Structure 1
Protein backbone atom coordinates (compact mmCIF):
# COMPACT_ATOMS: atom_id res chain seq x y z
CA UNK A 1 0.00 0.00 0.00
CA UNK A 2 1.10 3.55 -0.68
CA UNK A 3 -0.46 6.96 -0.30
CA UNK A 4 -2.89 7.63 -3.13
CA UNK A 5 -2.45 10.45 -5.61
CA UNK A 6 -5.30 12.27 -3.87
CA UNK A 7 -3.59 11.83 -0.48
CA UNK A 8 -0.36 13.26 -1.85
CA UNK A 9 -2.19 16.19 -3.45
CA UNK A 10 -3.95 16.89 -0.13
CA UNK A 11 -0.65 16.78 1.74
CA UNK A 12 0.97 19.17 -0.73
CA UNK A 13 -1.89 21.61 -0.10
CA UNK A 14 -1.49 21.17 3.66
CA UNK A 15 -4.85 19.38 3.97
CA UNK A 16 -5.51 16.31 6.15
CA UNK A 17 -1.90 16.19 7.36
CA UNK A 18 -2.71 14.86 10.84
CA UNK A 19 -4.90 12.10 9.41
CA UNK A 20 -2.23 11.13 6.90
CA UNK A 21 0.43 11.10 9.63
CA UNK A 22 -1.75 8.76 11.68
CA UNK A 23 -2.28 6.53 8.65
CA UNK A 24 1.46 6.35 8.04
CA UNK A 25 2.25 5.48 11.66
CA UNK A 26 -0.48 2.81 11.65
CA UNK A 27 1.05 1.25 8.53
CA UNK A 28 4.53 1.49 10.06
CA UNK A 29 3.45 -0.28 13.24
CA UNK A 30 1.57 -3.01 11.39
CA UNK A 31 4.50 -3.71 9.09
CA UNK A 32 6.99 -3.66 11.97
CA UNK A 33 4.89 -6.31 13.70
CA UNK A 34 4.83 -8.41 10.53
CA UNK A 35 8.62 -8.03 10.31
CA UNK A 36 8.98 -9.25 13.87
CA UNK A 37 6.71 -12.22 13.17
CA UNK A 38 8.68 -13.10 10.05
CA UNK A 39 11.96 -12.91 11.97
CA UNK A 40 10.56 -15.18 14.67
CA UNK A 41 9.59 -17.68 11.97
CA UNK A 42 13.04 -17.46 10.39
CA UNK A 43 11.71 -16.00 7.13
CA UNK A 44 14.52 -13.56 6.38
CA UNK A 45 13.15 -12.48 3.00
CA UNK A 46 9.78 -11.51 4.48
CA UNK A 47 11.51 -9.86 7.43
CA UNK A 48 13.61 -7.73 5.08
CA UNK A 49 10.60 -6.77 2.98
CA UNK A 50 8.41 -5.82 5.94
CA UNK A 51 11.25 -3.96 7.65
CA UNK A 52 11.91 -1.91 4.52
CA UNK A 53 8.24 -1.10 4.06
CA UNK A 54 7.89 -0.19 7.73
CA UNK A 55 10.86 2.18 7.47
CA UNK A 56 9.36 3.81 4.37
CA UNK A 57 6.08 4.53 6.15
CA UNK A 58 7.96 5.89 9.18
CA UNK A 59 9.98 8.19 6.91
CA UNK A 60 6.82 9.34 5.14
CA UNK A 61 5.23 10.16 8.49
CA UNK A 62 8.29 12.21 9.42
CA UNK A 63 8.10 14.17 6.17
CA UNK A 64 4.42 14.87 6.80
CA UNK A 65 5.20 15.97 10.37
CA UNK A 66 7.79 18.39 8.98
CA UNK A 67 5.22 19.70 6.52
CA UNK A 68 2.62 20.07 9.29
CA UNK A 69 5.06 22.21 11.28
CA UNK A 70 5.83 24.50 8.32
CA UNK A 71 3.95 27.80 8.78
CA UNK A 72 4.52 28.71 5.13
CA UNK A 73 2.55 25.67 3.98
CA UNK A 74 -0.37 26.68 6.18
CA UNK A 75 -0.25 30.28 4.99
CA UNK A 76 -0.24 29.09 1.35
CA UNK A 77 -3.04 26.59 1.98
CA UNK A 78 -5.19 29.23 3.65
CA UNK A 79 -4.67 31.70 0.80
CA UNK A 80 -5.88 29.26 -1.88
Structure 2
Protein backbone atom coordinates (compact mmCIF):
# COMPACT_ATOMS: atom_id res chain seq x y z
CA UNK A 1 0.00 0.00 0.00
CA UNK A 2 2.78 2.41 0.70
CA UNK A 3 5.51 3.10 -1.87
CA UNK A 4 8.55 5.30 -2.23
CA UNK A 5 9.28 6.83 -5.65
CA UNK A 6 10.69 4.16 -7.97
CA UNK A 7 13.31 6.46 -9.53
CA UNK A 8 14.72 7.89 -6.29
CA UNK A 9 14.49 4.94 -3.91
CA UNK A 10 13.83 1.24 -4.29
CA UNK A 11 10.22 0.29 -3.60
CA UNK A 12 9.48 -0.34 0.07
CA UNK A 13 5.95 -1.57 0.67
CA UNK A 14 4.20 -1.30 4.02
CA UNK A 15 0.67 -1.43 5.39
CA UNK A 16 -1.40 1.09 7.32
CA UNK A 17 -2.05 -0.17 10.86
CA UNK A 18 -3.74 2.88 12.43
CA UNK A 19 -5.25 6.21 11.43
CA UNK A 20 -6.15 8.91 13.97
CA UNK A 21 -7.03 12.20 12.29
CA UNK A 22 -4.10 13.22 10.07
CA UNK A 23 -1.72 10.77 11.83
CA UNK A 24 -1.10 7.48 10.02
CA UNK A 25 0.96 4.61 11.44
CA UNK A 26 2.56 2.43 8.77
CA UNK A 27 4.29 -0.93 9.36
CA UNK A 28 7.08 -1.98 6.99
CA UNK A 29 8.47 -5.46 6.32
CA UNK A 30 11.86 -4.06 5.38
CA UNK A 31 13.64 -0.84 6.35
CA UNK A 32 11.63 2.08 7.73
CA UNK A 33 11.91 5.25 5.62
CA UNK A 34 14.03 7.99 7.23
CA UNK A 35 12.33 10.78 9.19
CA UNK A 36 11.08 13.67 7.00
CA UNK A 37 10.80 11.39 3.94
CA UNK A 38 7.52 11.16 2.07
CA UNK A 39 5.51 7.96 1.75
CA UNK A 40 2.67 7.41 -0.70
CA UNK A 41 -0.40 5.66 0.65
CA UNK A 42 -2.27 4.17 -2.29
CA UNK A 43 -5.25 1.83 -2.55
CA UNK A 44 -7.30 1.30 -5.70
CA UNK A 45 -10.44 0.76 -3.60
CA UNK A 46 -11.38 -2.62 -5.05
CA UNK A 47 -12.87 -3.83 -1.76
CA UNK A 48 -14.41 -0.58 -0.53
CA UNK A 49 -15.06 1.25 -3.79
CA UNK A 50 -13.12 4.27 -2.49
CA UNK A 51 -9.73 4.93 -4.08
CA UNK A 52 -7.03 6.44 -1.83
CA UNK A 53 -3.90 8.29 -2.92
CA UNK A 54 -2.31 10.30 -0.09
CA UNK A 55 1.21 11.59 0.56
CA UNK A 56 2.38 11.55 4.19
CA UNK A 57 5.62 12.61 5.87
CA UNK A 58 7.48 10.32 8.28
CA UNK A 59 7.70 12.12 11.64
CA UNK A 60 8.72 9.39 14.09
CA UNK A 61 9.95 5.80 14.27
CA UNK A 62 7.74 4.15 16.90
CA UNK A 63 9.26 0.67 17.07
CA UNK A 64 8.18 -2.73 15.67
CA UNK A 65 9.13 -1.57 12.13
CA UNK A 66 6.49 1.18 12.32
CA UNK A 67 6.64 4.80 11.24
CA UNK A 68 4.28 7.54 12.44
CA UNK A 69 3.40 9.78 9.52
CA UNK A 70 1.38 12.96 9.05
CA UNK A 71 -0.90 13.12 6.03
CA UNK A 72 -0.74 16.08 3.67
CA UNK A 73 -4.46 15.59 2.83
CA UNK A 74 -7.54 14.89 4.98
CA UNK A 75 -7.90 11.25 6.09
CA UNK A 76 -11.60 11.34 7.01
CA UNK A 77 -14.17 9.55 4.95
- What is the TM-score normalised by the length of structure 1? 0.21
- What is the TM-score normalised by the length of structure 2? 0.21
State the structure with bigger RCO (CA 8 A, min sep 6), 1 or 2: 1
Larger radius of gyration: 1
